[in-house]
Amino acid sequence: MMENKKIEQQLLEIHQKLDLLTAQMREQQRRQRELQELKEDLTIIGKDIFQSAVQELDEVAHHFDTTDLLYLLKKLLRNTRNLTKLMDQMESAADFVQDAAPLGKQVLNHLLDTLSELERKGYFDFARELFNILDTIVTSFTINDVKLLRENITAILLTVKNLTQPEMLSSVNNALHFFQKMDVEIEKDISYWQILKAMRDPEMKRGIAFLIQFTKNMVQSNGEPSPTANQK
């Protein structure tokens, strides 16, 4: 009985090993079949790629020579270091752009805030009106007017300079203030005697003397040549 059990156990182990070998053989056959199918598919694809490459290369055959390819390869090999440096520089530039992106965004936001503040204060409206003034000047004056302005600019500037002197501005301001506040009523019937009597007033005498001297100065100034004429 013991011997029969041993024989049965051995036969069972043999059957298990045969089953394992059969499974491995089937798996090996399946892999070989898949590899064969893949090889056939790659062969078909390779043929198509080769035919397409032949057709494409045939179009540039008269522009391409094998020596050109060899020259290009030699050129690439000789400039390997330069290409490496160029790639390093490109990487550095990419890193710089990446690092500078937040700063650029901050600068852009600051610029937008500044423009918004200028818009709020009215700078753009002011500039627009200045442009309208310039456009009005250009459309209202001819080139001859501009030439005359250039020829007489010295006299104009001297006149403006004299008008902007403190004493002149004070006199003009006093005169304007006087005319704004002046409320004089002239009687309809006034005699020469009243006029002569009024001329005896010291203030009236000083006023008449000022008008006479002012008229004399005006006449003398009209007879003198202008500064631009002296320059010519």
4-29, pLDDT tens digit by residue?
777 778 888 888 888 888 888 888 88
Higher-confidence position of 60 and 47: 47
pLDDT digits (tens, 9 = 90+) for 33-43: 888 888 888 88
Q: How far apart are CA 188 and CA 15, in angstroms?
A: 153
Residue 54 has pLDDT above 50, yes or no: yes
Residue 204 has pLDDT above 60, yes or no: yes
pTM: 0.34
Q: What is the percentage of the chain residues whose pLDDT exceeds 90?
A: 5
